[in-house]
């Protein structure tokens, strides 16, 4: 999406916003076990440090934009074209990866000038979930905060681990046949006078675990079969991110059944 905005407007991106717009599905026992094990293995200080937006970036990131008073008090943000948004449980995992993608292209600007220009020097990223309205969003924020507190208490964490779906089990293929997920996002031009925005949508009709397998297999296929023009191949290793797989990766995802759409908004 960032590259699309630059190609359409010749402007760097000030901010990219991605939201989990809608989904149907249930977490597997393995996913839940991973969440509990994180709190068993690492201290709260380590978890918070790892989840900071710039924790994996090779460069200092710009100051995160403020969502205003509503966002501060309720954890809710209203964004035109995306709706009412609330802070996502994925933010701690996705934010550091996206900022690392930005920094990898910025530190390789001579080799990847187009991508570096697309992200821009002051690029930032925000990750949200869609909420039906402000009231629902505030309740989601409260539920997320309470869940985090419960996970910090060892006896409560032990009890919850016993009550949820256990590792090695989860929804059957029949139970997940109507699962789906859809992400939407905006890339906002760094030029405030232009007010140009690129809208993007990614959707997959099927299980989240099915699409995770597609992401992993197609990433490997991109590295193996799509030639030396793939940015990750040119970078010759290191702690890379999916963004360094380039357009060839997106093309593979589309052929595998994902819907990936982008368009300019006025």
Per-residue pLDDT reduced to its tens digit, 60-113? 998 776 666 667 777 888 898 999 999 898 999 999 999 999 999 999 877 888
In a domain, 162, yes or no: yes
Residue 175: pLDDT band (50, 70, 90) is: confident
Which domain range does residue 70 map to?
A: 2-203+260-265
At 19-71, the pLDDT tens digits run 999 999 888 888 888 888 999 999 999 999 999 989 999 999 987 766 666 67
Query: How many domains are contained in the chain?
Result: 1
Residue 115: pLDDT band (50, 70, 90) is: confident
Question: Could you give the residue ranges of the DSSP H alpha helices within 58-90?
Answer: 69-74
Distances (CA, A) of 142 to 56, 85, 149: 28, 14, 11
Alpha-carbon span 265 to 199, nearest angstrom: 7
pLDDT on residue 65: 62
At 208-248, the pLDDT tens digits run 989 999 999 999 999 999 998 999 999 988 899 999 999 99
Mean pLDDT of 185-191: 85
Mean pLDDT of 186-213: 87
In a domain, 239, yes or no: no
CB 125 within 8 A of CB 88: no
pLDDT on residue 192: 63
Element (H, E) at 76: strand 76-79
Q: Over 90: is that where the pLDDT of 261 sits?
A: yes
In a domain, 248, yes or no: no
| 3-state SS, residue 201 | strand
Q: Higher-confidence residue: 118 or 170? A: 118
In a domain, 247, yes or no: no
In a domain, 15, yes or no: yes
In a domain, 109, yes or no: yes
In a domain, 18, yes or no: yes
In a domain, 70, yes or no: yes
| 3-state SS, residue 16 | strand
pLDDT on residue 236: 85
How large is the C-alpha radius of gyration of the chain?
A: 19
């Amino acid at each position: 999406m960032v590259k699309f905005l630059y190609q359409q407007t010749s402007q760097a991106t000030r901010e990219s916003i991605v939201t989990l717009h809608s989904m149907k599905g249930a977490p597997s026992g393995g996913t839940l076990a991973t969440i509990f094990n994180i709190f068993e293995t690492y201290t709260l200080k380590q978890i918070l440090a790892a989840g900071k937006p710039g924790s994996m970036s090779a460069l200092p990131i710009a100051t995160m934009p403020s969502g205003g008073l509503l966002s501060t008090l309720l954890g809710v943000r209203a964004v035109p074209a995306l709706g009412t948004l609330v802070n996502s449980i994925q933010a701690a995992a996705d934010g550091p990866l996206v900022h690392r993608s930005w920094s990898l292209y910025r530190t390789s600007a001579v080799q990847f000038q187009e991508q570096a220009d697309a992200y821009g020097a002051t690029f930032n990223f925000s990750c949200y979930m869609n909420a039906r309205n402000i009231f629902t969003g505030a309740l989601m924020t409260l539920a997320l905060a309470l869940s985090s507190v419960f996970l910090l208490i060892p006896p409560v964490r032990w009890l919850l681990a016993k009550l949820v779906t256990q590792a090695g089990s989860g929804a059957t293929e029949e139970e997940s046949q109507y699962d789906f997920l859809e992400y939407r996002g905006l890339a906002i031009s760094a030029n405030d006078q232009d007010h140009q925005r690129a809208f993007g949508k990614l959707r997959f009709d099927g299980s989240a675990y099915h699409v995770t397998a597609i992401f992993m297999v197609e990433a490997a296929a991109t590295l193996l079969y799509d030639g030396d023009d793939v940015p990750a191949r040119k970078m010759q290793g290191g702690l890379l991110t999916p963004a360094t797989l380039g357009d060839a990766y997106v093309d593979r995802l589309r052929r595998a059944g994902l819907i990936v759409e982008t368009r300019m908004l006025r």
